[in-house]
Structures are given as structure tokens and as C-alpha cells.
Structure 1
Amino acid sequence: MTTDPLVVFTPSGKRGRFAIGTPVLTAARQLGVDLDSVCGGRGICSKCQITPGYGEFSKHGVTVQADALSEWNSVEARYDEKRGLKPGRRLGCQAKVMRDVVIDVPPESQVHKQVVRKAASARVIEMDPATKLYFVEVDEADMHEPSGDFERLARALSREWGIEGIRADLSLLSKLQPVLRKGKFQVTVALHRGHAGDAAQVLEIWPGLHESGLYGLAIDLGSTTIAAHLTDLVTGEVTASAGIMNPQIRFGEDLMSRVSYAMMNPGGDKEMTAAVREAIDTLAGEIAREAGIEPSLIVETVFVCNPVMHHLLLGIDPVELGQAPFALATSQSLSLGAKELDLNTLNPRAQVYILPCIAGHVGADCAAVALSEEPGKSEDLALIVDVGTNAEILLGDKSRVLACSSPTGPAFEGAQISSGQRAAPGAIEAIRIDPVTKEPRFRVIGCDKWSDEAGFFDEVGVGGITGICGSGIIEAVAELRLAGLLDESGLLGSAEATGTARMIPEGRTHAYLIHDGSAEGGPRITVTQGDIRAIQLAKSALYAGARLLMDERGVDRVDRVVLAGAFGAHISALHAMVLGMIPDVPLDKVTSAGNAAGTGARIALCNVAARREIERVVGEITKVETAIEPKFQEHFVAANAIPHKTDPFPELRKIVTLPLVGFNTGGDGGAEGGRRRRRR
């Protein structure tokens, strides 16, 4: 019997089998994938552009052949001739499924645009950026004093600002003389002075007094999301923030999948490098337009990222990071020209600084969190958790700081979840389940009302309720546990066992129905047993990583917990504790640091001394490698229970009562006791 081709959509992770010849747009609509189209599939609007991926995708269990989609047709050729399609793009309404295929839906083809959950956190930063503006009066050319205009500029900077020794590239020298004369030898220069003692470099020059500002980008390059903050280098103000999905998701949702793609597909690392560089360059142009500035005014960029993203950004094959001893090509900070990274939208002489990595799987993003939160200056023992596809964890006080990473996977960000989606309007972001009636009430992104409030459905609008994002699924699992619909082991009960018709059969397991929009053509949003398992695996990895650091310090408790990243800003401490994601502490000792990695990037962008400081601090942090620690598996297994198998979580139990239910009863579905039948 011939099996229909498998179609996997990224970044949503939704998949299904379709008959040969099914248009990609049809497959997307049947799976509820967020793919736009307004022309009825006639190839006119171009809203349904997609990018097929080719090669071996071990994460999805498919190998995509070159003929996975139908051949380029006349409609696509006509559209490409008239308006142009980016290389590798197809029209979803025209391309037909012929074999197994992985298809990426780029941001511009998605109806519901992403909400940037990594917004810039308010922070007072002492301004001393590496790049500053200097107004100088340069001596006019004199035939009796035979020096060049650049040398006279250097003398002016020395005389008026005490700056000794400058350099400039050929592109700057070629515009120097016209600008000097247009400004009547009064000019403003943007001068980049690195922290390593090198000669200052002239990045830009303007005639007269330049008053249009000077800008830098702080970029948090995550596995799933790329967040950028456009920052005024004079005032430190964040003038615009924007984010996009990392296009590398189509090569693999987690880091090891991307390393595997590079290993199995010759040139795969170069594909991923090109994809992420193009995305960052496009993002830079978009954020400049949003702020109403010329992109040429962006003269500096600071990057923070995990080690795999670090290597792929730099064009380094990450293969060594996929196997012990997880060796980095380089762990030190890097200073280079933006053009070396194909960032052509910025000023042509823009500079890039990349924070140092701590170790093989603890990257520059963790260093940025350390710069922002300063655990090494803490009087009490602080656990700082930056949750993403790969969690970065710091534990420390004034005596010592430890760090590790833990492979949580993308479930916390809505991926690999049956009704999951990225954070976009229409996504359920918060939920409460009544412990008596078992009925849910929820809130979606883009609407301030809860679903049981008058006017909610009018306000949600035509787009309706589309899915559930990371914060929503985390709260949903915790609420199911609090409502007695989920037992300690993570099993969902049946309708008979729980007394609610919202528990619906799904194969040999059950699912909880949050919302049924099928009557209006919308989705049925459920939490399935598979979703619970995905969250259990993610939270167990996170908790186990934290416990390893605590073991290294010889402690069973920490004094406080800081939640960083998009997760930290949008999840209640209570739900995190009910899940057992973090060690037990008093609830008022759990705080949010917002996007700490992004804040660390902004600090390094705005203060050159901070770069020296984080390079020093990174050298003093002790790295714990979770992959080779024997106790990691032990902690992981114990943490599979909700909240935990052996830790009693006394602080949590002071404020909530966790129902004593058990659904693994050998088939009778009873809620009491939860005894297993003895095998005979």
C-alpha cells in the first residue's frame, strides 16, 4: 500500500499526509497553518509564498528530494517576471505536493504577525558607548603645510578632544575631502574606540554639526526568535524594537537538529548561515523604517546568542558542538566589521561586537544575562533561569557563580504542541480552569478581556482564536493539575473519572478541550496527552539543570529565583512552581528580569567598559556540563512528576492544595487511589 506524502510545516511544526498533487496552500488550510492568501489561489496576490527545504531532516524523520514539489509552472514564472520571487521561494497555491516535504512559512506570508515577546526592559545604563560623535574644526588646506586632509582631521581630534591616533578605510577616505569642503572644514565624525586599545576608527563623517543622531542595534539571536532593539547611542533610549522568527527553524526546531542537518547535508551549515544573515539584515532595515531613520545611521551592532547560533552567524560549521567535548571554534569576544556578516543595510563601516561564550553549550546569551543580573555581586544565593529552546541557568552569589545549559526544546515557545503557535494575535496566552466546574476561561493576545467577559468574542474579531502559545500551554498544564484533571505523573483523566465532558477521548488517551471553533470554521484547541509529555520533558530538563548547579554548591534550597526571557515576563510564578519548573522558594522570591539577555546586549552596546567587565566575569564562571553529569538523569526522572516526585515543595503547598488524584488505574479510569494492577 502506497503511503501519501508527509508534509511538515515550520515554524508551527504542524504535519499531515496528503494525496500526491495536493496544493501546498490546501494542505496548510487543512492543518490550520497560518498561511495567507487573498486571491483565491490564482497566483495573483503572492501572499502564500513558501520556502521548501531539501535534504535530510532527522528531527522530522524525512528526507526531502529535489522533486518533492511539482515543477515551477507558468503562473509562478509570470509572477516572478513581473514582481520577482526571492530565490528558493514558491507560491503555495501553485506548488503541489509530490513527495515528503518540509515547508517553511516566512513571516511575511503569515496572517497573524508575531508579537515581540522579548521587548526591551527599562534599565538605567551609564552611557559610554564605543562609538560617539565628535564635532571638530579642521585646519584648512595650506600649500605651505604639505599634510593631507586626513592628517589635519587627526590633529583636530587630538587638539580638541585629546584623541590620539585614528584610522579610516578607503570608503571613508574617498568621501573625506568633499565633506570637509561642504562643511567649510567644520565636520562631525562618528568615531569608534574599541575597548582593546586599538586606534580609533572613523566610521562616518558629516559636514557641519550632525544632529540626526547615531544608533546601534542590540540583537538577541535566539534559536526560535531574533529580537532587535534600536538604541540611540547618545541617550541610550530604545527607539524601536522588533522581532522575527529565526528562519533556521525550517532546518530543525532545536539546536541539535540544526547541528544534525549540517552533519547530514553537505553545505547545510552554509545554508543556515545565509538564512540567518539575510533575516538579520532585513530586520535591520525594517526597524530603521519603523523608527523613521536612515539605516546608514546604524553604526554598531552587539550580538548575544547561544554557541550554535554564534557559530552559524559567523559561518563556522557547528559540527564539533554536536559531540563531546563540545569544542567551540573560539570562546572569546569578537570585534569585526558588519560587512563580514553580510549586514549590508547598515552603515558600510558599521562595527560588530559579539560577547564571549562561557563554554561549549553556555553561550554569549548567558554571558549577557550575567552582565545584566550580576549574580556575582549578590549577597544571597540567586538562581537565574533564561528559558528558551535551550535554557541557560546561572547560580551564584559573591563567593562563586556556576553556569550550565539544559536542552528544554521548543515546547515552552508553543512548538511541538498540537494546537501550539508562536505568540501572535489570537493565541491563548493565559488560562484559568475552575476546580469545581472544570470550565476554562482564557485570554488571547490582542484582547484585554477574558473569554467569560461580555464583549470578548466581539473584540477578538474575525481572526478569532487561533491556537495556544508558550505561556498559554504552560499555564494550561499547571491549571489542569490544580483542577484535578491531571495527576502527579502527568496523566489526563477520562470524562467519567473527572466528571467533565471537556475530557474527550483521543486514541488510548484523553485530551482537554479548551475551545471549539469548528462551527465557525475555526480550530478545536485542546491539550493532549502528547502536549503534557512535551511540557514534562522540557520542565524536567530545566529543573534537572538547576539541581545539578545546586549539587555543585552543596545546597538543597536557593534564596531567590529570577526568571528571564520572554517566559519570565509572561508566566506567573505560581504556575511555574506548580509545574515544578524551578526549585521551591517562597513565591515572593520569584521575580522576572524580562529579556535579560537583550538587556545585557544593550549594556554592552551603550557602555564600552561593560565589555571589559563581562570578559573578566566570564573567565571566573564555573561551567557544569549537564551532558556528562551522571546525576542529570536521576534529577530528570524525579522531575517528571508534577511538581516533583521526591521534593515536597513545602513553600508551594503553603499556598495551594494539589488534588490527590491518580488516573493510571489499569483501565477502570477511577480518580481515587490510582493503584496499578499487579501483573500475574
Structure 2
Amino acid sequence: MAEDALVIFTPSGKRGRFALGTPVLTAARQLGVDLDSVCGGRGICSKCQITPGYGEFPKHGVTVAADALSEWNAVEDRYKRIRGLLDGRRLGCQAKVMGDVVIDVPPESQVHKQVIRKSATERHIEMDPATRALYVEVEEPDMEEPSGDFERLARALKAQWGIEAIDADLTVLRRLQPVLRKGEWKVTVVLNRGNHDAAHRVLDIFPGFDERPLLGLAVDLGSTTIAAHLCDLRDGRVLASSGLMNPQIRFGEDLMSRVSYAMMNPGGDVEMTRAVREALNTLSGEIAGQAGVAAEAIYEMVLVCNPVMHHLFLGVDPVELGQSPFALAQSSSLSLDTREVDLTALNRNARLYVLPCIAGHVGADCAAVALSEEPQKSKDMVLIVDVGTNAEILLGNEDRVLACSSPTGPAFEGAQISSGQRAAPGAIERVEIDPVTKEPRFRVIGSDLWSDDPGFAAATAVTGITGICGSGIIEAVAEMRLAGLVDAGGLIGGPEQTGTQRCLPYGRTHSYLLHDGRAEGGPKIMVTQGDIRAIQLAKSALYAGARLLMDEIGVEKVDRVTLAGAFGAHISAKHAMVLGMIPDVPMEKVTSAGNAAGTGARIALLNRAARDQIEDVVHHIHKVETAIEPRFQEHFVNANAIPHAVDPFPELRKIVSLPEVSFNTGGSGGEGRGRRRRQEAG
């Protein structure tokens, strides 16, 4: 019988083996997992709540048995009775490891609040929302002309606003008569009309002229993060932006892992659906509180997401998306009552609009990017890359637009990285390495100072230096290549090869020491060979997808590149090109579009005509399926090199010099001597 067990924490991806009987909180602390506790593990504060996952986890290579944690105990029982504990939650200080287990740390149990990098991008949007409030004066009842109050409301709206037809559900009809009389037959009506609806839906009614908030929520439901923008439907202002980690990460970090989980665990799709809907309810309440308004003022949500997230959110089994021909249950747009999908935190009559999907692996998020960036109107050849756990790529101009998705995985989000974490105060987000001294300097989220600036220690005393987020690891790897610490194949050199003691032995490979905070009680933050490999795999998938589209459209180069998403806003074009994430273009031709998917969702929320536009555009975008295209693998292998094994990247070489180093067998000089010493020592 095994004496220890594998514990995997999500969303961080950190893992380790622990003796049976180890409290989950102890395991989290030893791994540097962000799990809160202020009572010293005595079961008093309840800050260390966790959610264990059970069943098959193919991505992690484990099967979690029902008895993977110790039994529910009296402390947890008392806490649930007195204070309440969500079903499925355990207290990390009480639950003990008894077998291999996957444990999710929910946002409220994390010490460092996540910084949502997908902030709202400044954009002029012509206001024509599907949901609006209208003041109307209704005729009083007349015994000479008997008719219902609702029918007279309909006549008034037609006469005063040109609205041909309305309907309403029972919740509105029950309030109609008292509101009309209280307002002395003058009322404000909240109406919604979906693109394919014959009639306007009455969502709410208030006595007299009422200017209370009328709000909408634009949501970018990503595989790793969920970002939302709360908008005023009267003037388009973004009142608040917020987000959280997608709780489905505990079922699998990438999309195919979640499909596998649904296939291998009966009811797994239902679990994932419930988790993401609960997260959206939580986010809706939080973002309303952030703006100082009631969530009941949110009358409409527009949602964009990839196809797997689309199906899981709607409660559709995603199994068909896990196998050829990757068939969608429905690709066209959807207009629903939010009650149908258990979004109860919004107004009870709120409406939901989901943008259309383009094809099996190219979803509504890509459609939203197309709505925001309009490649079909471009005179030159533009490549638009929306980087996330599943990258969406568009290539084209006014003649033709192609699209594909590429499975980059969560490394760009800071997951699967040894010291990786989500974007939160204290996370390293910018890195520079001196090519001569090989010494690093960095910046962390929450401070504008670099680590070698006076006052840096004081400025980061509260947050500490806790790990490295996605933008930080990307810049770190690119800087290591520029400084000659990593060769073109992605190998980290040893101290003799690189000339720095920061390159430390790490198992059978080497790592680069970025920061050692152990003296202050902080972590030792390194870039390991495994981290380099994770970034290589992610960037190779991205570049291969772009090259595949270029092959299909018949071009050897593109005129410009637009980087979308959190990545585009926080990574320099130079570092992206040094890694070989994007094709070679002049640096000034690489621009950031911010969170283009979120912007597209906002456009669809605030402009009803834009919904017609994107529903037409998606029919003319040609989908290229990377999963069955043999050239994808060839491009992927070539793209493993940093920046590339074949493509010369002439524009990049105009501005940087890439050291000609090789740390593989067959090197010369100090490299060979370093290898011989290690072999002799072994």
C-alpha cells in the first residue's frame, strides 16, 4: 500500500507527493499554493475552504477515489450548521490527504486577489441597445371600450414609440395593474428585443418617469479566466470590470481535458455546467457591488466563449466536440431568458444573448474578435491572434477571411509553470536580463518600480514577491534567449556554459534563478527546463496555427499583426517575436487590441445592429481545422526552436542579436567540458 499520495492544486497547477494523513492546508503551504488561513489551522476562520474533485482526470493522469480525503469531521459539521458551507466544499485544515486527489482553491479562499488583465478597451460604440427603458402614457380604462391594461399598454407603445408588438411573462403581468395605477397611467417600461424576436419583451415596469440604473453585462467566458464588463445601457459607459478564474480548471486545464472528464465520469458535464453558472452568478453580484448598484438592475447579458465552454455553459454534453468531425449542437446565435441557464443573480426577467460560433473549434469568442477588429474590411493582410488557453486566430482582408483555433494550453496564463500563478499583486509581470552580467531585474503587479530601483523592497513589502504570471514567464524566457542563457533548441545552459551561477543544476537539467526570497520568508522563483518546454509547446501551437492559415490563403508573410486578449495588452512585440510566437513583421506593425473578445461582446450588448452584422460575417469566414491538417504538425515541430528552426525572422534580427549558443551534445569548448564533469561526477 502506498505511503504517500499525489496532490494537485488548481488553478495554480502546483503538485507534490505527501504522506497520507497530511492536512490539505499543510500541503498547500509547502507547495506555495495561495490558500488563505488566519486561525492557524484550528478550523475557526473558514478561510481555507477547498473543493476536491473526484473521478478520472486524464490531463493529470490520476483517478481520484471517493475516499481520497479523510471523512467529514465534527469541526466541519459544526461550521456548516452554524455558518454554512457550500455543498462539496471542505476545510483545508481539517481534510487530510488519503489518496491521489485534485483540489480546487476557489477565488474567495485565495489570499491574493486576482488582477483581471482583460480590462475594457476604449471604444466608440454607436448606441442602439436591444434593451432600453421607455416612458409611456397609457389610456385609462373605459367601460365604453373594454380592453385589458396590457392591450392598452401595447397600443400606447405603438402610438408613442412605433413598437409593433409586445409580450410579457406572468411576473410582469402580476405587477402591471398596481404599477399603472400608482403611476396614474404614466409608466417607464423596460423592453428587450432579440434579433429574431417578433415582439418586444417587457422585462420590467415602474410607475411614472423612472431613471433608475439600466445595466447590461458583457462576459468573455474563457477556459482559464472569466472577464466581465458592466455597462450602462443608456450611454454605454463601462461602470466596472471584474473577473475570476474559471472553476472548471479543476476538471482539466485545457478544453479537451474537460471533454475527456465528461466522457469518463458520468454526470461530469453536469458538474462543470453547475460550476461555471455558479461562478457567473458570483461574478455578477461582485461586479454590481463594485459599481455600487443592485444586481437586479442588470437586464441583459451578452456572452462570448469557445465552443466547449459554450456547450458546457448551456448544459449541452460536449462529447461531439472531442471527436471528428467536431460537430456543434448549434452554431447560430441564441436569445434566452437567464432563468433557463440558472443565472439568478441578475434581474429575474433578464435576457441572455450568445454570439454565434464559427465552427467546431472556433467559437463565439472568435466571432466577437471579428466583430471588434473587422478583418473583412482590411485592405492589407492582417493576422489577429487572441491568445488564451485555446488561441483563436483570424487571417485575411476584404477578399477573404480564414479562422482556426490552436490548443496553446494554459502556460501563457501562468499555469503549468513551476513558480507560476495567476495575475495578482506580488506576481512578477515584467523581466529584463542583462546580457553581460546575466543578472535579472523585474517588476511585480502592484508596483511601478523595478527590482533594482531604490524603494522597491518597501513598495512590495505588503504583497511580497509571490511567483510569476503569464506575461512574466513569457518575457523571462525571451530574455534568457537574448542573454544567451537558453539556446535555440530551448536548453538552459549550466553555470560554466553561461558564465553565471544563477544557472543551477535542477535534476538532470538546469534552471535559472530569477529571485530567491527565502531569507524574507518568500519563495525561490526559478525558470526551469520544464517551464521552457511548456512555453515552447504553447508558442509552437500558436505559430503553427498562424502558418497554416498563411498556407491556406497563399501568402509567405503578413502585413501586420494584431495581438488581442490579456496577452496582447501586456507583452511587448519584441518578446513575442523573440519567442517566435507570431510571424516576422516590422515591429511597428504589431499592435495591441486589448481584450477584443470582450470589446466584441460590449459592441453586441450596446448595438443591436452589430448582432445582425456578425451573424452575417461568420457565414463568410472559412474555418481551417488544425486537428486534422497534416501540415500543422510540420509547422509545430519547426516552431519549437526559439524563434524558429526554418523561418529566418529578418525583421526581428534588425533590432536584436540572438546569441549563437548551443548547450546540446556536440557543443564545443566550455560546453563540452561542463558535460564531461557532470558525467564524471555521475
The interval holding the TM-score normalised by the smaller chain is over 0.9
Measure, in 1, the Cα distance between the counterparts of 2:370 and 2:333. Answer: 15
Q: What letter matches 1:362 in structure 2?
A: V
The aligned runs of 1:263-662 (5 Å cut-off) are: 263-662=263-662
SS in 2 for 1:18: strand
Give the match for residue 72 of structure 1: 72
| Deviation, structure 1 residue 463 | 3.2
- Map 1:18-37 → 2, pairs under 5 A: 18-37=18-37
* Aligned-partner SS, 1:52: strand
CA contact (8 A) 2:496 2:674 kept: no
Q: Is the 8 A contact 1:492 1:663 kept in 2?
A: yes
Q: How far apart are 1:666 and its partner, in Å?
A: 5.3
Counterpart contact for 1:661–1:671, Cα < 8 Å: no
Q: Is the 8 A contact 1:663 1:670 kept in 2?
A: no
- CA distance in 2: counterparts of 1:630 and 1:282, whole angstroms: 43
Output the CA distance in 2 between the equivalents of 1:666 and 1:423: 40
- 1:570-621 deviation line (CA, Å, top 9, x unaligned): 0000000000000000000000000000000000000001000000000000
In the other structure, the counterpart of 2:59 is 59
> Given the alignment of the two structures, is residue 182 of structure 1 paired with residue 174 of structure 2, yes or no?
no
Q: What do the CA deviations read for 1:187-240 (whole angstroms, capped 9, x no partner)?
A: 000111222251111011011111112111000000000001001111001001
Cα distance between partner residues in 1 of 2:297 and 2:105: 31
CA contact under 8 A between 1:281 and 1:344: conserved in structure 2?
A: yes
SS at match of 1:50: strand
- Aligned-pair distance for 1:667? 8.5
User: In 2, are the aligned partners of 1:662 and 1:673 still within 8 Å (CA)?
Assistant: no
Contact 1:661 1:672 in 2 (8 A): no
Aligned: 1:11 with 2:19: no
Report SS of the residue matched to 2:670. Answer: coil
Pairwise mapping of residues 173-252 of structure 1 onto structure 2 (< 5 A)?
173-252=173-252
Give the superposition deviation at 1:113.
0.7
Q: CA deviation at 1:109?
A: 0.3
Partners of 2:118 and 2:594 within 8 A in 1: yes
SS in 1 for 2:545: helix
1:254 aligns with 2:254: yes
Counterpart amino acid of 1:65?
A: A
Report how far residue 348 of structure 1 moved: 1.0
Contact 1:516 1:523 in 2 (8 A): yes
1:146 aligns with 2:146: yes
Structure 2 distance, partners of 1:648, 1:666, is 23
**Structure 1: distance between partners of 2:665 and 2:282:** 55
CA distance, structure 1, for counterparts of residue 404 and residue 156 of structure 2: 50
Contact kept in structure 2, 1:426 and 1:446, CA below 8 Å? yes
Q: CA deviation at 1:460?
A: 0.5
| C-alpha contact (below 8 Å) 2:3/2:20 kept by paired residues | no
Looking at structure 1, the residues matched to 650 and 177 of structure 2 have their Cα atoms a distance apart, in angstroms, of: 73
Q: CA offset at residue 672 of structure 1? A: 9.0
Q: How far apart, CA to CA, are the structure 1 residues paired with 2:284 and 2:507? A: 47
After superposition, residues 109-124 of structure 1 pair within 5 angstroms as: 109-124=109-124
1:353 alignment partner AA: Y
Output the CA distance in 2 between the equivalents of 1:377 and 1:230. Answer: 29
1:376 maps to amino acid: Q
Instruction: Give, in whole Å, the separation in 1 of the partners of 2:6 and 2:574.
Output: 40
**How high is the sequence identity, in percent, across the aligned residues?**
77
Query: In 2, distance between residues paired with 1:645 and 1:673?
Result: 26
Q: Contact (CA 8 Å) 2:367, 2:614: kept in 1 or not? A: yes
Distance 2:381 2:462 in 1: 49
Structure 1 segments unaligned to the other structure (5+ residues): none
Q: Please report how far the alpha carbon of residue 286 of structure 1 lies from its aligned counterpart in structure 2 after TM superposition.
A: 1.0
Shift of 1:665: 2.5
* CA deviation after TM superposition for structure 1 residue 3, in Å: 4.5
Amino acid at match of 1:624: V
- After superposition, the C-alpha distances for 1:287-309 in whole angstroms (9 at most, x for unaligned) are 11111112111111000000000
**Alpha carbons 2:305, 2:364 under 8 Å: kept:** yes
**Amino acid in structure 1 at the alignment position of 2:555:** V
Equivalent-residue separation in structure 2 for 1:52 and 1:196 (angstroms): 42
Measured in 2, the distance between the counterparts of 1:510 and 1:125 equals 51
Give 1:63's aligned amino acid.
T
The equivalent residue for 1:106 is: 106
Residues 344-382 of structure 1: CA deviation (Å, up to 9, x unaligned): 111111111000000000000000000000000001000
* Distance in 1, Cα, partners of 2:272 & 2:132: 34
For 1:329 and 1:374, locate their aligned partners in 2 and report how far apart those are by CA, in whole Å. Answer: 26
Question: 1:41 is matched with which residue?
Answer: 41
CA contact (8 A) 1:662 1:670 kept: no
TM-aligned CA deviation for residue 142 of structure 1: 2.1
Match of 1:517, as an amino acid?
G
**TM-score where L is the length of structure 1:** 0.98
Deviation at 1:673, TM superposition (A): 13
Question: Structure 1 residue 162 and structure 2 residue 162: aligned?
Answer: yes
The answer on whether the counterparts of 1:557 and 1:584 sit within 8 Å (CA) in structure 2 is yes
Amino acid of the structure 2 residue aligned with 1:560: R
Offset of residue 674 of structure 1 = 12
Kept after mapping to 2: 8 A contact 1:223/1:254: yes
Q: 1:256 to 1:437 in 2, by over 3 A?
A: same
Q: Distance in 2 between matches of 1:669 and 1:83?
A: 67
Provide the rounded CA distance (Å) in 2 between the counterparts of 1:281 and 1:375: 34
Count matched residues: 676
- Give TM-score scaled by structure 2 length: 0.98
| 1:300 to 1:52, Cα distance in 2 relative to 1, 3 A | same
Q: 1:488 to 1:672 in 2, by over 3 A?
A: farther
Shift of 1:671: 4.7
Residues 475 and 571 in structure 1, CA contact (< 8 A), matched pair in contact too: yes
User: 2:547 is matched by which residue type in structure 1?
Assistant: R
Q: Where do residues 654-673 of structure 1 align in structure 2 (5 Å cutoff)? A: 654-665=654-665, 670-671=670-671
The Cα shift of 1:265 comes to 0.1
C-alpha distance in 2 between matches for 1:555 and 1:165: 51
Amino acid at match of 1:646: V
Contact 2:435–2:483 (CA under 8 A) maintained in structure 1: yes
Give the residue type in structure 2 aligned to 1:656. V
Q: Secondary structure at the match of 2:592?
A: strand
Residues in 1 aligned to 2:143 and 2:88: alpha-carbon distance in whole angstroms: 58
2:679: which partner in 1? Answer: none
Q: CA deviation at 1:522?
A: 1.1
| Counterpart code for 1:125 | I
**What are structure 2's unaligned runs of at least 5 residues?**
677-682
Superposition CA RMSD, Å: 1.4
Provide the C-alpha distance between the structure 1 equivalents of 2:674 and 2:636, rounded to a whole number of angstroms: 23
1:294, 1:143 → 2: CA distance? 41
